Amino acid sequence: MKLSSPPLRLLALAAVIGLALTATLVWAAPGAALLLSPRTGYDPLAANEKAQASTLAYASPTFASAVNAVSESELLLIERHAETKTVMQSGNWPRRADVFVYLYDSDTLLHAIVNLSTRTVDSVETAQNVQLPLTQNETARAFGLLMADATLRASIAAQYQTITGHALTQPETQLIAHAFIYRADAQPGAHPGAAGCGPHRCAQLLLKTHNDIAINLLPIVDLSLDALVSVGPFVGE
């Protein structure tokens, strides 16, 4: 009996350690199984699915021809395609993605529906006067156009100095910029210089300091024209 006890104790200890190690691995990466499992149905698109959708869309002759025909475009959004109620009632449908690209030269929204299950592009269509939310790249562009105006930059710098007590030397890091799509038909006559916004892709900017105080300025940048088209106070004076 004395000779058999140590091996049994060692086996029991090994089993406990093995279970603990397994539990630790599962706890350390609780989402690993989800990342490896293929997504279906209502699941949002995974990063690799978005990359695949983009690749397939740009490889489509119709889509590529439209993009190549303009001098400037912006990939706005890639998301899971919302199927119709009839399709969903079947309980089984292919993974499809919507790929949206804005063509600045013609102010056109290009939309491809990509079938990720068959690796094909099901349809390509265009629309005008449709404006999806701005991308980070577009926000940076609008901010750059604003700060390129020497008079406005000086005004912003003066306000920043008053609010924070510090000089504005690096606007890109010292200020927080929020950008929203602006449409002239939402405020008829409010900003005459921005009358083309809606058909054009325009960004209205809200600038804040890092202590969450707004700069009293509400500029509008027409990204289709690459121009600052309206400047007004955030709060009336």
How crowded is residue 17: how many other Cβ atoms within 10 Å of its Cβ? 10
d(C-alpha 15, C-alpha 35), whole Å: 29
Q: Which residues pair with 103 in a beta bridge?
A: 73, 108
Where do runs of H (alpha helix) occur along 165-208?
171-174
Q: Residue 135: which residues within 8 A CB-CB, separation 6 or more?
A: 74, 75, 76
Q: Are 218 and 204 in contact (CB under 8 A)?
A: yes
Looking at residue 43, its pLDDT comes to 85
Query: Does the pTM of the predicted model rise above 0.75?
Result: yes
Looking at residue 235, its pLDDT comes to 63
Cβ-based burial of 213 (10 A; exposed 0-12, middle 13-18, buried ≥19): middle
Looking at residue 27, its pLDDT comes to 39
Looking at residue 216, its pLDDT comes to 96
Looking at residue 140, its pLDDT comes to 97
**Tens of pLDDT along the chain (237 residues)?**
333 334 434 334 344 334 443 433 333 444 444 444 556 667 899 999 999 999 999 999 999 999 999 999 999 999 999 988 877 776 677 899 999 999 999 999 999 999 999 999 999 999 999 999 999 999 999 999 999 999 999 999 999 999 999 999 999 999 999 999 999 999 888 888 999 999 999 999 999 999 999 999 999 999 999 999 999 887 655
List, for residues 170-194, the tens digit of each pLDDT value.
999 999 999 999 999 998 888 889 9
d(C-alpha 53, C-alpha 131), whole Å: 21
Looking at residue 187, its pLDDT comes to 86
d(C-alpha 203, C-alpha 210), whole Å: 21
CA angle 115, 135, 64 (to 5 degrees): 45
d(C-alpha 108, C-alpha 151), whole Å: 33
For the chain, what are the domain ranges?
Answer: 5-36, 47-128, 136-230
CATH topology of domain 47-128: Nuclear Transport Factor 2; Chain: A, (3.10.450)
Looking at residue 110, its pLDDT comes to 98
Q: Are 70 and 101 in contact (CB under 8 A)?
A: no
